[in-house]
Amino acid sequence: MENEIIHKEIDLIQGVINRMASNSFLLKGWLVSLIAVILALSKDSILTNDLTYLSLVLILPVIVFWYLDAFFLHKEKCYRKLYEWVIENRKNTNDFLYSLDYSRFKNKVSSLFSIMFSKTLFPFYGIIVLILICITIYNQTR
């Protein structure tokens, strides 16, 4: 019976972790699709200054998606801490039984800002921002 409780609780937490990882993956896919579609639809304006402004405007959704991705990664890390806590402590206590409240682990993971600039998110979003800035600068100097 005790093992069944632990397994069910771990399954619940693992389900949340999987959803957070899935959300993060979907955000990256949506961002790349959004930028590709917008740039493809604006191919006629490549020779004008419209692309300069468009690339500057595209930086805003990149930052929003970047923040959302960091948000989901932060929550995923909190739930991983909760998962570890359940594995270590469930046999000794029934405190927080089936609780999916991750708030007590917020201070045990990196801040949202540091996650945004982590080695997993910064290269992906940083390169996109850099490309958009380069497009802007290139079109300004032409």
Q: What is the tens place of the pLDDT at every residue in 59-102?
A: 999 999 999 999 999 999 999 999 998 888 877 777 777 777 88
Altogether, the residues listed in the chain come to a count of 142
pLDDT (tens digit per residue) in 35-45:
888 877 776 65
From 133, 142, 129, select the one nearest 48 (Cα to Cα): 142
> What mean pLDDT is predicted for residues 99-119?
90
Q: Which residues contact 56 (CB under 8 A, 6 or more apart)?
A: 132, 136
Crossing angle, helix 2-41 and helix 50-89, to 10 degrees? 170
Domain ranges of the chain: 2-141
Amino acid at 114: S
Residues of the chain above pLDDT 70, percent: 91
Q: Supply the pLDDT for residue 76.
A: 94
18: confidence class by pLDDT, cuts 50, 70, 90: very high
Tally of CB atoms within 10 A around 138 = 12
Average pLDDT value for the chain:
86
CB-based contact 98:12 (threshold 8 Å)? yes
